[in-house]
Amino acid sequence: MTVAETLNSRQRHIVTIAANTAVGNLAQLKHELNGGLDAGLTVNEIKEILVQMYAYAGFPRSLQGINTFIEVLNQRKAKEISDAVGKSASPITDTTNKYERGKKILETLTKQPETNTKKGYAAFCSEIDVFLKEHLFADIFERDVLSYADRELATISALSAMEGVEPMLQGHIKIGKNVGITETQLSEVKPLIEKSKHGIFPKGTMKGSADRFSGTVWVETLVAPKEMENLYAVGNVTFEPRARTHWHTHPAGQVLLVMEGKGFYQEKGKPARPLVKGDVVAIPKDIEHWHGAAPDSAFVHVAISNNKDGNAVTWLTPVTDEEYNRVSK
Ligand code: MN
Protein backbone atom coordinates (compact mmCIF):
# COMPACT_ATOMS: atom_id res chain seq x y z
CA MET A 1 0.00 0.00 0.00
CA THR A 2 1.31 3.44 -0.90
CA VAL A 3 0.62 6.65 0.99
CA ALA A 4 -1.16 8.04 -2.04
CA GLU A 5 -3.61 5.15 -2.32
CA THR A 6 -7.15 6.48 -2.64
CA LEU A 7 -10.43 4.98 -1.42
CA ASN A 8 -11.90 2.45 -3.83
CA SER A 9 -15.58 2.33 -4.59
CA ARG A 10 -16.26 -0.31 -1.91
CA GLN A 11 -14.49 1.80 0.73
CA ARG A 12 -16.23 4.98 -0.40
CA HIS A 13 -19.52 3.26 0.31
CA ILE A 14 -18.36 2.13 3.75
CA VAL A 15 -17.79 5.85 4.42
CA THR A 16 -21.18 7.06 3.22
CA ILE A 17 -23.15 4.14 4.72
CA ALA A 18 -21.56 4.64 8.14
CA ALA A 19 -21.92 8.44 8.06
CA ASN A 20 -25.56 8.48 6.96
CA THR A 21 -26.46 5.75 9.48
CA ALA A 22 -24.76 7.64 12.31
CA VAL A 23 -26.72 10.83 11.70
CA GLY A 24 -29.98 9.16 10.66
CA ASN A 25 -30.04 10.41 7.06
CA LEU A 26 -32.21 7.51 5.96
CA ALA A 27 -33.27 8.72 2.51
CA GLN A 28 -29.66 9.16 1.49
CA LEU A 29 -28.68 5.96 3.28
CA LYS A 30 -30.99 4.08 0.93
CA HIS A 31 -28.97 5.36 -2.03
CA GLU A 32 -25.68 4.58 -0.38
CA LEU A 33 -26.81 1.04 0.48
CA ASN A 34 -27.80 0.43 -3.13
CA GLY A 35 -24.48 1.92 -4.27
CA GLY A 36 -22.56 -0.19 -1.75
CA LEU A 37 -24.14 -3.42 -2.96
CA ASP A 38 -23.45 -2.41 -6.57
CA ALA A 39 -19.84 -1.64 -5.59
CA GLY A 40 -19.36 -5.17 -4.27
CA LEU A 41 -20.01 -4.92 -0.52
CA THR A 42 -21.72 -8.14 0.55
CA VAL A 43 -24.97 -8.23 2.51
CA ASN A 44 -23.08 -9.52 5.56
CA GLU A 45 -20.42 -6.83 5.33
CA ILE A 46 -23.06 -4.10 5.25
CA LYS A 47 -24.93 -5.74 8.15
CA GLU A 48 -21.67 -5.69 10.07
CA ILE A 49 -21.16 -1.95 9.43
CA LEU A 50 -24.71 -1.22 10.58
CA VAL A 51 -24.26 -3.34 13.71
CA GLN A 52 -20.94 -1.68 14.53
CA MET A 53 -22.63 1.72 14.27
CA TYR A 54 -24.60 0.99 17.43
CA ALA A 55 -21.36 1.26 19.43
CA TYR A 56 -20.74 4.73 18.04
CA ALA A 57 -24.17 6.21 17.34
CA GLY A 58 -26.49 4.16 19.59
CA PHE A 59 -29.12 1.46 19.07
CA PRO A 60 -31.80 3.76 17.56
CA ARG A 61 -29.53 4.86 14.67
CA SER A 62 -28.22 1.33 14.15
CA LEU A 63 -31.69 -0.24 14.14
CA GLN A 64 -33.02 2.39 11.73
CA GLY A 65 -30.04 1.67 9.50
CA ILE A 66 -30.84 -2.04 9.58
CA ASN A 67 -34.54 -1.37 8.90
CA THR A 68 -33.54 0.75 5.90
CA PHE A 69 -31.27 -2.02 4.66
CA ILE A 70 -34.12 -4.56 4.90
CA GLU A 71 -36.24 -2.22 2.77
CA VAL A 72 -33.47 -1.82 0.18
CA LEU A 73 -32.90 -5.58 -0.05
CA ASN A 74 -36.63 -6.20 -0.53
CA GLN A 75 -36.80 -3.61 -3.29
CA ARG A 76 -33.78 -5.17 -5.02
CA LYS A 77 -35.29 -8.64 -4.70
CA ALA A 78 -38.47 -7.32 -6.33
CA LYS A 79 -36.29 -6.06 -9.21
CA GLU A 80 -34.67 -9.51 -9.35
CA ILE A 81 -31.25 -8.19 -8.39
CA SER A 82 -29.40 -10.94 -6.58
CA ASP A 83 -26.90 -9.71 -4.01
CA ALA A 84 -23.97 -11.68 -2.65
CA VAL A 85 -24.59 -12.62 0.97
CA GLY A 86 -20.88 -13.04 1.64
CA LYS A 87 -19.17 -14.90 4.41
CA SER A 88 -20.51 -14.91 7.97
CA ALA A 89 -18.41 -14.30 11.06
CA SER A 90 -16.35 -17.31 12.21
CA PRO A 91 -17.50 -18.57 15.60
CA ILE A 92 -15.49 -17.20 18.54
CA THR A 93 -13.85 -20.13 20.33
CA ASP A 94 -11.54 -18.16 22.64
CA THR A 95 -12.85 -18.61 26.17
CA THR A 96 -10.19 -16.56 27.95
CA ASN A 97 -11.22 -13.44 29.86
CA LYS A 98 -13.16 -11.19 27.56
CA TYR A 99 -11.97 -7.93 29.13
CA GLU A 100 -8.37 -9.03 28.51
CA ARG A 101 -9.18 -10.01 24.92
CA GLY A 102 -10.69 -6.60 24.28
CA LYS A 103 -7.71 -4.90 25.88
CA LYS A 104 -5.35 -6.82 23.60
CA ILE A 105 -7.26 -5.85 20.47
CA LEU A 106 -7.27 -2.23 21.60
CA GLU A 107 -3.49 -2.42 22.05
CA THR A 108 -3.14 -3.83 18.54
CA LEU A 109 -5.22 -0.95 17.19
CA THR A 110 -3.58 1.89 19.12
CA LYS A 111 -0.07 0.36 19.19
CA GLN A 112 0.00 1.58 22.79
CA PRO A 113 0.15 -0.69 25.85
CA GLU A 114 -2.96 -0.41 28.03
CA THR A 115 -1.84 0.46 31.57
CA ASN A 116 -3.59 -1.07 34.55
CA THR A 117 -4.03 2.36 36.14
CA LYS A 118 -7.29 3.76 34.87
CA LYS A 119 -7.70 7.45 34.31
CA GLY A 120 -10.27 9.91 33.00
CA TYR A 121 -13.65 8.39 32.15
CA ALA A 122 -12.37 4.86 32.84
CA ALA A 123 -11.46 5.78 36.43
CA PHE A 124 -14.60 7.84 37.00
CA CYS A 125 -16.97 5.31 35.46
CA SER A 126 -15.41 1.86 35.41
CA GLU A 127 -18.52 0.20 33.89
CA ILE A 128 -18.05 2.06 30.64
CA ASP A 129 -14.45 0.89 30.48
CA VAL A 130 -15.64 -2.71 30.88
CA PHE A 131 -18.38 -2.30 28.26
CA LEU A 132 -15.94 -0.70 25.86
CA LYS A 133 -13.31 -3.41 26.15
CA GLU A 134 -15.54 -6.48 26.48
CA HIS A 135 -18.22 -5.50 24.17
CA LEU A 136 -16.87 -3.17 21.52
CA PHE A 137 -13.28 -4.36 21.23
CA ALA A 138 -13.94 -8.04 22.02
CA ASP A 139 -17.50 -8.93 20.91
CA ILE A 140 -17.61 -6.68 17.86
CA PHE A 141 -13.98 -6.36 16.74
CA GLU A 142 -13.36 -10.11 17.07
CA ARG A 143 -15.87 -10.75 14.31
CA ASP A 144 -13.90 -11.34 11.14
CA VAL A 145 -16.48 -10.22 8.56
CA LEU A 146 -14.71 -6.85 8.31
CA SER A 147 -11.02 -6.05 8.60
CA TYR A 148 -9.81 -3.63 11.26
CA ALA A 149 -9.17 -1.12 8.48
CA ASP A 150 -12.78 -1.40 7.24
CA ARG A 151 -14.10 -1.07 10.79
CA GLU A 152 -11.96 1.98 11.50
CA LEU A 153 -12.97 3.58 8.22
CA ALA A 154 -16.63 3.14 9.25
CA THR A 155 -15.93 4.59 12.70
CA ILE A 156 -13.96 7.58 11.40
CA SER A 157 -16.78 8.30 8.96
CA ALA A 158 -19.48 8.08 11.63
CA LEU A 159 -17.55 10.34 14.00
CA SER A 160 -16.80 12.81 11.19
CA ALA A 161 -20.52 13.10 10.47
CA MET A 162 -21.48 13.53 14.14
CA GLU A 163 -21.15 16.68 16.24
CA GLY A 164 -19.19 17.05 19.46
CA VAL A 165 -17.02 13.91 19.30
CA GLU A 166 -13.73 15.49 18.21
CA PRO A 167 -11.44 13.69 20.74
CA MET A 168 -12.81 10.30 19.68
CA LEU A 169 -12.48 11.22 16.01
CA GLN A 170 -8.82 12.17 16.51
CA GLY A 171 -8.22 8.92 18.42
CA HIS A 172 -9.70 6.85 15.62
CA ILE A 173 -7.81 8.74 12.92
CA LYS A 174 -4.62 7.65 14.71
CA ILE A 175 -5.87 4.06 14.87
CA GLY A 176 -6.89 4.25 11.23
CA LYS A 177 -3.33 5.08 10.22
CA ASN A 178 -2.06 2.21 12.37
CA VAL A 179 -4.27 -0.30 10.56
CA GLY A 180 -3.27 0.87 7.09
CA ILE A 181 -5.65 3.65 6.07
CA THR A 182 -3.57 6.14 4.09
CA GLU A 183 -3.38 9.92 4.58
CA THR A 184 -4.92 10.37 1.15
CA GLN A 185 -7.83 8.07 2.02
CA LEU A 186 -8.39 9.93 5.32
CA SER A 187 -8.45 13.25 3.48
CA GLU A 188 -11.22 11.91 1.22
CA VAL A 189 -13.61 11.05 4.06
CA LYS A 190 -14.93 14.51 4.97
CA PRO A 191 -15.58 15.72 1.39
CA LEU A 192 -17.33 12.42 0.60
CA ILE A 193 -19.64 12.88 3.57
CA GLU A 194 -20.29 16.51 2.63
CA LYS A 195 -21.17 15.39 -0.86
CA SER A 196 -23.62 12.79 0.36
CA LYS A 197 -25.38 15.32 2.62
CA HIS A 198 -28.53 16.75 1.20
CA GLY A 199 -31.56 18.75 2.06
CA ILE A 200 -34.97 17.19 2.39
CA PHE A 201 -34.73 14.99 -0.70
CA PRO A 202 -31.71 12.98 -1.85
CA LYS A 203 -29.33 14.51 -4.33
CA GLY A 204 -29.16 11.32 -6.31
CA THR A 205 -26.36 10.03 -8.46
CA MET A 206 -27.66 10.83 -11.94
CA LYS A 207 -25.89 13.72 -13.69
CA GLY A 208 -27.97 16.09 -15.79
CA SER A 209 -26.99 15.70 -19.44
CA ALA A 210 -24.85 18.28 -21.24
CA ASP A 211 -27.50 18.90 -23.91
CA ARG A 212 -29.84 20.27 -21.22
CA PHE A 213 -27.58 21.76 -18.56
CA SER A 214 -24.33 23.76 -18.26
CA GLY A 215 -22.07 22.81 -15.35
CA THR A 216 -22.63 19.99 -12.88
CA VAL A 217 -26.23 19.19 -12.08
CA TRP A 218 -27.64 16.20 -10.17
CA VAL A 219 -31.14 14.97 -10.86
CA GLU A 220 -33.08 12.72 -8.54
CA THR A 221 -36.44 11.47 -9.75
CA LEU A 222 -39.12 11.72 -7.06
CA VAL A 223 -42.13 10.84 -9.21
CA ALA A 224 -41.18 8.97 -12.37
CA PRO A 225 -42.21 10.26 -15.82
CA LYS A 226 -45.76 9.42 -16.80
CA GLU A 227 -46.64 7.68 -13.52
CA MET A 228 -49.64 10.02 -13.44
CA GLU A 229 -51.84 11.45 -16.15
CA ASN A 230 -51.54 15.24 -15.86
CA LEU A 231 -48.23 15.31 -14.11
CA TYR A 232 -45.18 14.54 -16.23
CA ALA A 233 -42.63 14.09 -13.43
CA VAL A 234 -41.27 15.47 -10.17
CA GLY A 235 -37.53 15.75 -9.68
CA ASN A 236 -35.11 17.11 -7.10
CA VAL A 237 -32.45 19.06 -8.99
CA THR A 238 -29.14 20.07 -7.42
CA PHE A 239 -27.02 22.66 -9.25
CA GLU A 240 -23.39 23.20 -8.28
CA PRO A 241 -22.33 26.90 -8.27
CA ARG A 242 -22.77 28.49 -11.77
CA ALA A 243 -24.56 25.38 -13.09
CA ARG A 244 -27.82 26.09 -14.92
CA THR A 245 -30.37 24.75 -17.34
CA HIS A 246 -30.34 25.63 -21.03
CA TRP A 247 -33.07 27.95 -22.23
CA HIS A 248 -36.27 25.93 -22.47
CA THR A 249 -40.06 26.01 -22.46
CA HIS A 250 -42.71 23.81 -20.85
CA PRO A 251 -45.80 23.01 -22.95
CA ALA A 252 -47.95 22.74 -19.80
CA GLY A 253 -45.93 24.82 -17.32
CA GLN A 254 -43.75 23.91 -14.36
CA VAL A 255 -43.54 24.68 -10.64
CA LEU A 256 -40.20 25.10 -8.86
CA LEU A 257 -39.94 24.78 -5.06
CA VAL A 258 -36.60 26.10 -3.84
CA MET A 259 -35.18 23.83 -1.15
CA GLU A 260 -31.68 25.18 -0.56
CA GLY A 261 -29.01 27.64 -1.67
CA LYS A 262 -29.17 30.64 -3.96
CA GLY A 263 -30.10 30.78 -7.62
CA PHE A 264 -31.96 32.54 -10.41
CA TYR A 265 -35.02 32.21 -12.59
CA GLN A 266 -35.11 34.29 -15.75
CA GLU A 267 -37.67 34.64 -18.52
CA LYS A 268 -36.30 35.75 -21.88
CA GLY A 269 -36.12 39.54 -22.14
CA LYS A 270 -36.91 40.09 -18.45
CA PRO A 271 -34.68 40.73 -15.43
CA ALA A 272 -33.66 37.60 -13.55
CA ARG A 273 -35.42 36.80 -10.29
CA PRO A 274 -33.03 35.83 -7.46
CA LEU A 275 -34.22 32.74 -5.58
CA VAL A 276 -33.60 31.47 -2.06
CA LYS A 277 -34.91 28.59 0.06
CA GLY A 278 -38.68 28.70 0.33
CA ASP A 279 -39.30 30.54 -2.93
CA VAL A 280 -41.91 29.15 -5.32
CA VAL A 281 -41.89 29.81 -9.05
CA ALA A 282 -44.96 29.08 -11.17
CA ILE A 283 -43.71 28.98 -14.76
CA PRO A 284 -46.41 29.62 -17.38
CA LYS A 285 -46.63 27.37 -20.42
CA ASP A 286 -44.56 28.14 -23.51
CA ILE A 287 -42.46 30.86 -21.81
CA GLU A 288 -38.77 30.68 -22.68
CA HIS A 289 -36.68 30.66 -19.46
CA TRP A 290 -33.81 29.15 -17.51
CA HIS A 291 -33.07 28.39 -13.84
CA GLY A 292 -29.84 27.66 -12.04
CA ALA A 293 -27.36 28.37 -9.26
CA ALA A 294 -25.72 31.64 -8.22
CA PRO A 295 -21.94 31.86 -8.86
CA ASP A 296 -21.11 31.45 -5.16
CA SER A 297 -23.72 28.93 -4.02
CA ALA A 298 -25.15 25.57 -4.84
CA PHE A 299 -28.90 25.61 -5.53
CA VAL A 300 -31.51 22.92 -5.01
CA HIS A 301 -35.07 22.96 -6.30
CA VAL A 302 -37.84 20.47 -6.74
CA ALA A 303 -39.26 20.71 -10.27
CA ILE A 304 -42.87 19.69 -10.81
CA SER A 305 -43.44 19.40 -14.55
CA ASN A 306 -46.87 19.10 -16.08
CA ASN A 307 -47.67 16.75 -18.93
CA LYS A 308 -48.88 17.69 -22.38
CA ASP A 309 -49.22 14.85 -24.86
CA GLY A 310 -46.40 12.96 -23.16
CA ASN A 311 -44.02 15.92 -23.11
CA ALA A 312 -42.88 18.29 -20.40
CA VAL A 313 -40.10 20.37 -21.90
CA THR A 314 -38.62 21.68 -25.13
CA TRP A 315 -34.89 22.27 -24.80
CA LEU A 316 -33.31 25.24 -26.59
CA THR A 317 -29.83 26.83 -26.62
CA PRO A 318 -27.41 27.03 -23.66
CA VAL A 319 -27.43 30.12 -21.45
CA THR A 320 -24.11 31.67 -22.52
CA ASP A 321 -21.54 32.86 -19.97
CA GLU A 322 -22.27 36.40 -21.14
CA GLU A 323 -25.99 35.99 -20.47
CA TYR A 324 -25.27 34.35 -17.12
CA ASN A 325 -22.70 36.94 -16.01
CA ARG A 326 -25.10 39.75 -16.78
CA VAL A 327 -27.64 38.53 -14.22
CA SER A 328 -25.32 36.99 -11.68
CA LYS A 329 -22.80 39.74 -11.03
MN1 MN B 1 -38.11 25.09 -16.39
Question: Residues 207-252: pLDDT tens digits?
Answer: 999 999 999 999 999 999 878 888 999 999 999 999 999 999 999 9
User: Which residue type, as a one-letter code, is found at position 283?
Assistant: I
CA 267 to ligand 1 centroid distance, Å: 10
Residue 4 has pLDDT above 80, yes or no: no
pTM: 0.69
Cα of 295 to ligand 1 centre, how many Å? Answer: 19
Burial of residue 135 (number of CB atoms within 10 Å: 0-12, 13-18, 19+): middle
Q: Which fold has domain 3-89+143-197?
A: AhpD-like (1.20.1290)
Q: Where are the domains of the chain?
A: 3-89+143-197, 206-328
Residue 60 CB partners (closer than 8 Å, separation 6+): 24
Q: Residue 32 C-alpha to ligand 1 middle, in angstroms? A: 29
Work out the average pLDDT over 92-99.
94
| Distance from the alpha carbon of residue 250 to the mean position of ligand 1, in angstroms | 7
Q: 246: CA distance to ligand 1 center in Å?
A: 9
CATH 2.60.40.10 fits 206-328, yes or no: no
What is the structure's pLDDT at 218?
93
Q: Rounded mean pLDDT of 135-147?
A: 96
Is the CB of residue 24 less than 8 Å from the CB of residue 61? yes
pLDDT (mean) for 286-303: 96
Report how far ligand 1's centroid is from the alpha carbon of 225 (Å). 15
Reported confidence tier of residue 306, pLDDT bands at 50, 70, 90 = very high
- Report the alpha-carbon distance of residue 279 to residue 198 in Å, rounded: 18
Cα of 283 vs centre of ligand 1, distance in Å, is 7
Can you name the residues that pair with 239 across neighbouring β-strands?
217, 299
Ligand 1 center to 318 CA (angstroms): 13
**Ligand 1 centroid to 197 CA: how many Å?**
25
289 CA distance to ligand 1 middle (Å): 7
Instruction: Please give the mean pLDDT across all residues of the chain.
Output: 94
